[in-house]
Structure 1
Amino acid sequence: MLNMLYRFPCTRIFTTSASQFHTTPACNEIRKLARLRVVDNSEIGKAAMMEGKPPRCIHVYNRRHVGLIGDQVLVAIKGQMKKGVLVGLKQKQKMKVPKFDSNNIVLIDDNGTPLGTRIHVPIPTILRTILKEKTHNKGADYTKVLAIATKFV
């Protein structure tokens, strides 16, 4: 039990007279079991957020296993595994990159095509250069995520 607490320091355990239950505040960095917020209008994303069961990150596709803006993650949402792109983070960012109030994600399919048709929150302008670089390296077309964005910060 203590090993899990040291691996995931954001986890808190509360004990009541009947049973134990866990609550997890939103982590400042994206790693395994971090809660995310779906900010597009995909059906599965809207349903999960309305039920109050936000998706959880189960894998980050980079060497450090800590997600940054523009990284691709695998999330568990409503019993399914979906891929997503991180478009906003709570953690401290580099200069001229905005810091957000929540960890935002846009759900995509295997080709990089977004599952929704609109993004409801502003996304950082630096994401344009980050996603264009990843489009050429990975073969997936992440620029479609930029096309459905309504505002840039």
Structure 2
Amino acid sequence: MLARSAVSLLRPASSAACRPAAPLSTSAPRCEIRKLARLRVVDNSQIGKEAMAEGRPPRVIHVYNKRAVATVGDKVLMAIRGQKRKGLLVGCVKTQHPMSMIPKFDTNNVVLIDDAGTPLGTRIHVPIPNVIRERLQRMSHKKSGDFTKILSLATRFV
């Protein structure tokens, strides 16, 4: 006859040990900004500085593409201090794809722009991903504005 301690070794102590493990996710993390996401304004525009100083960063209320999911280089419409402003996403928390060469940032960064595509600020305080250059050059045309002005405001590229 087995001792009581030997029997307890054969049987699990709780039902948690019998549960199957959660399925392992093998998909890569994506940089996706959706509606109601909070962003950090990284230029020196007046409205951006005031919003960040009072601790109420802007929220995304619309993404200007078909998927309604913004990645680095996409235009978004934001609610900032009770106003609607457009912005250009210049950094995401997670990397997009291992081969895309987009760096991982600590925050979701945005630069405020007006309807013509010119930035509201005169300086960008964070490094800009280098892959955003060709995307902004493709987006720039007469109707939507010149987005390459944002590249001239950036002091560092990653």
| TM-score, normalised by the number of residues in structure 1 | 0.79
- Contact 2:117–2:144 (CA under 8 A) maintained in structure 1: no
Matched, 1:117 2:140: no
- Contact 2:95–2:102 (CA under 8 A) maintained in structure 1: no
Alignment of 1:7-26 (within 5 A): none
Where 2:140 maps in the other structure, the secondary structure is helix
Alignment partners' CA distance in 1, 2:40 and 2:127: 14
Matched, 1:102 2:137: no
- Give the C-alpha shift of residue 90 in structure 1: 1.2
Matched, 1:135 2:140: yes
Q: Which has the larger radius of gyration?
A: 2
Alignment of 1:63-102 (within 5 A): 63-94=66-97, 95=99, 96-102=101-107
Name the residue aligned to 1:58: 61
Alignment partners' CA distance in 2, 1:139 and 1:34: 24
Equivalent pairs counted in the alignment come to: 126
User: Paired residue for 1:148, among 144, 150, 153?
Assistant: 153
Alignment partners' CA distance in 2, 1:83 and 1:50: 19
Identity fraction in percent: 65
Alignment root-mean-square deviation, CA: 1.2
Alignment partners' CA distance in 1, 2:83 and 2:43: 17
Structure 1's consecutive aligned runs of 4 or more residues displaced over 4 angstroms after TM superposition are none
- Once the two structures are superposed, what CA deviation does each residue of 1:31-90 show, in whole Å capped at 9, x if it has no partner? 100000000000000000000000000000000000011000000000000000000011
Runs of 5+ unmatched residues, structure 2: 1-30
